[in-house]
Structure 1
């Protein structure tokens, strides 16, 4: 007898419809591969919108919150949605979210003191609203057993593949990926992110230093120089800079330089060696290590993937 894996996709107001319908179709395609693999289970998919539909789907194995397309519903979802998520989790369902859908999941309190991810551009807002959650936007997907969160707007594909792998077999997921012609290898959100410094913190002295770094990133920069520009002791500068930008000064400078290097790799034919020199590094291997640490790819791999 075929065992059903019951999936509920919550089509909340302004949910990304390509994700809602795409996830449904992904699981239906997976069913065909499951049959061909003679695996004794099938996914059943329900798309729900209203309270009455929540009641008819009270028994579920997986609940998915897709990305948000527009509007602000994900910041203030209906209490009925949060209650449904609580009830489903209490009955053993795996809760899943993609992109801004993680905000809805966060408001249940079920993510407190647990790891999660969302879109990298939403990280600052998410951290401010939910400080108890261990947010890691470098990860495209975090599978924490009974809760799975995915990062980017299109991460619903990665989420769907992860669910297929977890509830069937990894080879079925890989076969599905080949059929869809999507990458099933490990990816990270930091491959796609870009560094956008925080300038609206209100600390004018730190802002002046940031402007200096932006204009002189390829010069020798150290704590003593930057603290002097801010007319602060090094200790005070380190504390205020970190508070204002959420990064230590050296890490901040590294991120600015790596962002500039990425832009050069994407827009010019310059070698990484020349780019490293233009970033102020005499030791190319040292800058390559910094690049890999921040981006997660080597310069050649980054260029192969994006250029």
Structure 2
């Protein structure tokens, strides 16, 4: 079977398509024929060597975290799935390796594919959708009327965060670029700001929560638009941000929190329910399996709306 691997840290050129043995299903795993794999910033951060402390440095490595596919075989202890079931899910966040013809997954890492969703839409959901659910489940307390600013809101996490925050009763302000204006409105934002034309820091409005998805609005700037008791969330933290958030939150009423994705079967089931209830999942670009280098070259530069996905089978 085919699998995308790399033998050293670097840009998309280190990726190669290799012929590898089919993984053997064990008593406790599910063998899945992969249909689609989504692209996430974590993919290239790990591949570039930026996350060595968490991901390690053992090679060869695979790439790709979340996926959709069809169950090919199940271990003897697996009762919830059978051959032919359509599923979606995610592998270990720091080890990944979903971009392959077939993968093995643990039962708790998958769920039934949402009814009505394409394989591409299903593959686009687990990482960013779980991040958005975790965001409001553990870091930001949303109540009716909570004022939330989402900076860089037209990407994957933003797509889910806007819609989930609105379902919880928040008043959402989305900051996007030109190509994200229509999507942010479609997803339900109360206010949409084009950062090219308006500086949210100069607008004079204060928020209960500021969520930075773009890595362009640091806490030092965001605190200017935060209410006295409020929260700022950094969704792509490095060691510096993790340390800073701890000490700032100790001494300030304006809390600084970081999102460290911790996947959960509960989140997958919630995503399935959200999507079956009509939550919009936009897949702006779909690449063929053979175009993996192009996909990973374009993804960090594209600033696309929603997600990019690689179609495998």
TM-score normalised by L of structure 1: 0.27
Pick 1 or 2: higher relative contact order, CA cutoff 8 A, min separation 6: 2
Q: Which has the higher strand share?
A: 2
The structure number with the bigger radius of gyration is: 1
Choose between structure 1 and 2: higher helix proportion.
Answer: 1
